[in-house]
Amino acid sequence: MQMAGKLMKAVQYSGYGGGAGALQYVDAPIPTPKKGELLIKLEATGLNPVDWKIQKGQLRPLLPSKFPFIPAVDVAGEVVSVGPGVNDFTTGDKVVSMLGSRNGGGLAEYAVASIKTTVKRPLGVSAENGASLPIAALTALQAIRDSAGVKLDGSGKEMNLLITAASGGVGHYAVQIAKLGRAHVTATCGARNVSLIKELGADEVLDYKTPEGAALKSPSGRKYDAVIHCTSNIPWSIFQPNLSPNGKVIDFTPNFMSLASTFVKKLTLSSQQIVPFIVSGNSNDLAFMVNLVNEGKVKTIIDSKYPLEKAADAWAKSMDGHATGKIVVTFGE
């Protein structure tokens, strides 16, 4: 399908800062896939906190690569054309993809994706479910399997995990993935989501606003082998007494203080540690998560859906920080 020179609807911003009010609904050129790339007609895009953190300038000068910038990277849709050297995908394939962070592109009717971070989407996985997965589900998977060391086939020893902000995008996947590995899961969330997180499999759920929740203490007195830390602003002094002798805090939003704690702990040879974490986009893990959703072993909780022209409302909802599960932008026919 020849798209060169044609225009699409997109949402972009032209500089750092400004939040949802700085997003512009515009006409933009449809991109052209290069070698090893696909052009996807988007059906859904999942938002993540990193999207608006990039806009705030928290990753400058690395991201974004240029202005104006079309944000968001978690997408699902249909392949409409393929670049040179692409043999594993063809026009009409339904796919899920993690776009490159440098170029983004998810808040637009069409996006170019690398075949290295794209997988086929079975009929049992909706576009909204698929677009919710890449960053959030891969973060949860890699933190639990690789950083915490939970064996997902259940063959390892039972590990005690704490998952903070368990009703958020990463957290609600983390609870389910941890239970696949037969971990004992203590989770924190707001009072309104306690029953939901229990339904997803958590063994113990703490309302983070109660004294017990703020102290992160396991109701059954367990010490945590690993903390999947999905929120921020919890000091090491709160974590430390709740950790097992070799316990670790896997921190998705490390700030200066947590990085300083990591350095000090290495100097003192402490067995307890903070482990900064960065997700790695790869098609094997993405295919693994898509398959778990297709088999009904993991489900996506969708907080809310917005059409592309209302993407600023979705952006504001994400920045507010109280979504239950994922926020998704959808595209009409």
Q: What is the pTM of this model?
A: 0.93
Same domain, 168 and 243: yes
Q: Which two structure tokens, joined as six digits, stand for 84?
A: 């040179």
Tally of domains in the chain: 2
Does one domain contain both 104 and 165? no
Q: What is the mean pLDDT of residues 56-85?
A: 92
289 in a domain, yes or no?
no
Give the pLDDT confidence score for residue 2 in this predicted structure: 60
- Tell me, what's the pLDDT at 265? 52
Amino acid identity, position 61 = P
Check whether residue 128 and residue 56 sit in a common domain: yes
Asked if pLDDT for residue 5 goes beyond 80, the answer is: no
Give counts: helices (H), strands (E), the chain. Answer: 10, 15
The mean per-residue pLDDT over the stretch 37-47 comes to 98
Angle at 61 between CA 59 and CA 62, to 5 degrees: 65
19, part of any domain: yes
Cβ(29)–Cβ(110) under 8 Å? no
Q: What is the mean pLDDT of the chain?
A: 92
**More confident site: 4 or 170:** 170
Model pLDDT, residue 240 = 92
Helix H or strand E encompassing 205:
strand 204-207
pLDDT digits (tens, 9 = 90+) for 121-171: 999 999 999 999 999 999 999 999 999 999 998 888 899 999 999 999 999
Q: For residue 229, is it left (φ>0), alpha (ψ between -120 and 50) or beta?
A: beta
**CB burial readout 247-272, b (16+ within 10 A) else e:** bbbbbbbbeeebeebbeebeeeeeee
Residue 31 within a domain: yes
Whether residues 127 and 141 fall in one domain:
no
Based on the fold, state whether residues 119 and 208 are members of the same structural domain: no
pLDDT given at position 4: 63
Q: What is the CATH number of the domain that holds 36?
A: 3.90.180.10
Residue 144 neighbours by CB under 8 Å, 6+ apart = 150, 152, 161, 174, 177, 178, 181, 183, 226, 228
Which of 105-114, 148-157, 233-242: highest mean pLDDT?
Answer: 105-114
* Structural domain includes residue 97: yes
- pLDDT over 50 at 258, yes or no: no
Which residue range forms the structural domain that includes residue 161?
136-276
What is the pLDDT at residue 268?
A: 47
**291 domain residue, yes or no:** no
Q: What is the pLDDT of residue 257?
A: 46
- pLDDT confidence of residue 44: 98
